[in-house]
Structure 1
Amino acid sequence: MAKPRDPVRPATDGAGARPGQLGRVVERVPPHAWFVVSAVFHYLGPAFAVLLFARVDVLGVAWLRIASAALVLALWRRPGRVWRTLDRGTRRLLVAWATVLAAMNSCFYLAIDRLPLCTVAAVEFLPVIALAAIAVRSARNAGALLAAVAGVHLLTDVHLAAEPVGLAFPAANALLFAGYVVLAHRVASSGQVPGLDGLALSMVIASLIALPIGLVPAAPAFVDPVALAAGVGVGVASSVIPYVCDQLAMARLARATYALMVSLLPATATVIGVVVLAQLPTAREVLGVAPVVAGVALYRPARPPRPVDEREPDTSRPGHT
């Protein structure tokens, strides 16, 4: 059996360890565990960002998140050396991913400034479930999708009717999040660039794309040490930790499997909204969590996930021949 590819492929583990040592540790952690960590931080960071809105404008906080994450990843991965070796197609892929990251983060923060976190999470999930639906080939998986969609419908609640204009931002964020899943999975599976180096490159590019709309709103943070530190913390918690975990999970999960697991996010957002923001869910929202979790538990991939070097090509990917 071929040796599984190290999805990180670092020269060292950053602490002077031998090459590949971190990769072996990563391989011992189930990809589902990486997803759970990502799911928690995906909304924990933004929940703290909501508290920061009192000091810094929404788009300013969004840019601080992107820029601080880009700085951390650039110092860690030093991706400039990788960029010079990439072909034109891979560079276009990374720029597309960066554009989605910049727009998605901005729309997401504009959304959570207007709607409860669990409602935004529910809307964010809807296009992603369509990615999982592409690969459904059994009654069991069809039932899993129906259960998850029913849960999201309950979680959406009346806020969408109360905020018709505000709905535009979570709707745009939802479409962009689906694009994020597709592009991130392509980068994670790419033989051209290791996933974490690709993430670092895309975050740096995203910070430049978002600069024109984010720098001026972020200016108050540069004279407020508390706000600046909080902005950096939001970037690490919202982008570095979950996006790195996403790449480690995507490198060993089929895209359809990952897309359905994303249906856990509304439940995660509901819990974090209660704990951090005191956004108590309605009875309808609480009832919506159960079928979402049931759908994830019910779903089974067509075959057990395998390392990327041993897995058959993902025929659900657009453009596959």
Structure 2
Amino acid sequence: MVGGVIPFARALFRRIVLLVALLATVFVVVDLLPGSTARAVLGRDATPDQIAAKERELGLDRPLPERFWRWISGVLTGDFGDTARGRSINELLAAKFPPTLLLGGLALTVTAVASLLLGAWWAGRHTIAPFTLPARLVPRGLVAVRRSVLRSLQPATTIAAAVPEFVVATLLILVFALVLGWLPAVTLTDRSGFPASPDMLVLPVLALAIPQVGWNTRVVRAALVDAAQAPHVESAVLEGIAPRTVMLRHIMPFALPTIVASFATTVGMVLGGSLVVETIFNYPGLGAVLAGSVADRDVSVVASVVALSGAVIMVMLAVADGIRAWSLRGHG
């Protein structure tokens, strides 16, 4: 018990230190950006005296380390402070983070399901083909189609993993919104702040999921192929155990640590990509908040978005660590 808790605590401590260092870097980078927060808030017609007074009001006349310490001290008590325009950052995040969480959660779900199915089917060529019928029971035409699809997975997943989210989003808008007219290219919100209709989620979710499906499918396939080389898998096959049972009970548990670690990493990729995708689709999430705060040079808002996203990623990594430890303990 203790032997498992100590490595977990060390990993958590390292991630917290890394997050704090990242937040400090955000403060430095935003401070180095050209322009003035006070001028962005007051407008171009503000006088030097008005700008100086606003800077004193916002605390911008204090040294950067002091400003960072005051902000992060508030974060530790649950107070992210106020924006440069006087709005509570807590209220802003409470309003904008749930739509981003919905978008990211749907994209992660699509990624996990598609990657597991495609990866297992692809790995079936080298293991036991658990999700396909034997070739002798399938019509020749379907066998040819299956072989063609399997051959295409190698280049298709490589391309999907390499293409950035904003390129995928642009192509999806071009094809499904402008050419075919099947789905909306922009997002309209209702009174709750969420998309007004479910079809407005389809293209943003696909734009986030497609690159991650490409990467994770390859990870799932490699993990299953490696796990299938274990002697106990061959013994299970020789004993006549059903292929699906062999996959779920004898292969998948050993491949699970690698797969879960990949999905946990995907959480960070999805959250990062969502900030770009939200801007393209005019989605009502943290992307618009981040873009506006960068334009205002509002470092507190930028750092708060990074802190919240980092906390979510750390939680998912901790869950992945727990699942990996459980899997290794049960099959050590």
> TM-score normalized by structure 2?
0.27
Give the structure with higher Rg (CA): 2
Alignment TM-score, normalising by the size of structure 1: 0.27
Greater helix share, structure number? 2
